[in-house]
Structure 1
Amino acid sequence: MTNFTRIRHELPVSMDIVHAVAEFDAALVKAIDAAKEAGLPQGLVVGILHGHVHAETHRMVEVKPLSTL
C-alpha cells in the first residue's frame, strides 16, 4: 500500500490537490443530477455510489501476493 498519499500528512494541501478534489466533487454532483433528471430512484443512485466506494476500498486494501509485486 505504498501507491497512495495520506492527505492529513500533506496539510496544508497543495493547490493541485484542492483543484483535483473540487473537480471530482463537481463531476459527482453533475452525474448525480443527471441520474435524477433521468428518473433513477434515489436508492439506486446511492446503491451504485456505494458499490463503487466498496470496490475502490477493496482495491486499496487488497493484499497482493509477493509474486505480483
Structure 2
Amino acid sequence: MTNVTRLHHALPLGPAINKAVTDLDSAIAKAIDAAKAAGLPQGLIVSLLHGHAHAETAKMVGA
C-alpha cells in the first residue's frame, strides 16, 4: 500500500485538496438528496454507497 497517502500526515492540506474534498462531499450529499426525493429506499442508498466504498478500497489496496 505504498500508493496510499494518509491525509493526517500531510496536514495542513492545500487549498486544492480542501476544495476537492468539499466538492466531493457536496456532490455526494446532493446525490443522496436526489435519490431520497426520487423515492429510493434508504437501505438501497446506503448499500450502493457501501459497495462503491468497497470497490474503491479494493482498487487502492490492489494497485
- CA-to-partner distance for each residue in 1:41-63, whole Å, 9 max, x for gaps? 0000000000000011111111x
Aligned counterparts, 1:1-69, within 5 A: 1-62=1-62
Per the normalisation by structure 1, the TM-score is 0.82
Same amino acid, percent of matched pairs:
60
Unaligned runs of 5+ in 2: none
CA distance in 2, matches of 1:18, 1:59: 23
Q: Counterpart of 2:27 in 1: which secondary structure?
A: helix
Alpha-carbon offset, residue 2 of structure 1:
4.1
Unaligned runs of 5+ in 1: 65-69
Alpha-carbon offset, residue 10 of structure 1:
1.2
| Higher RCO, 1 vs 2 (CA within 8 Å, ≥6 residues apart) | 2
- CA-to-partner distance for each residue in 1:16-66, whole Å, 9 max, x for gaps? 11110000000000000000000000000000000000011111111x6xx
Per the normalisation by structure 2, the TM-score is 0.90
Task: Report the RMSD for the aligned CA atoms in angstroms.
Answer: 1.3
CA distance in 2, matches of 1:41, 1:18: 31
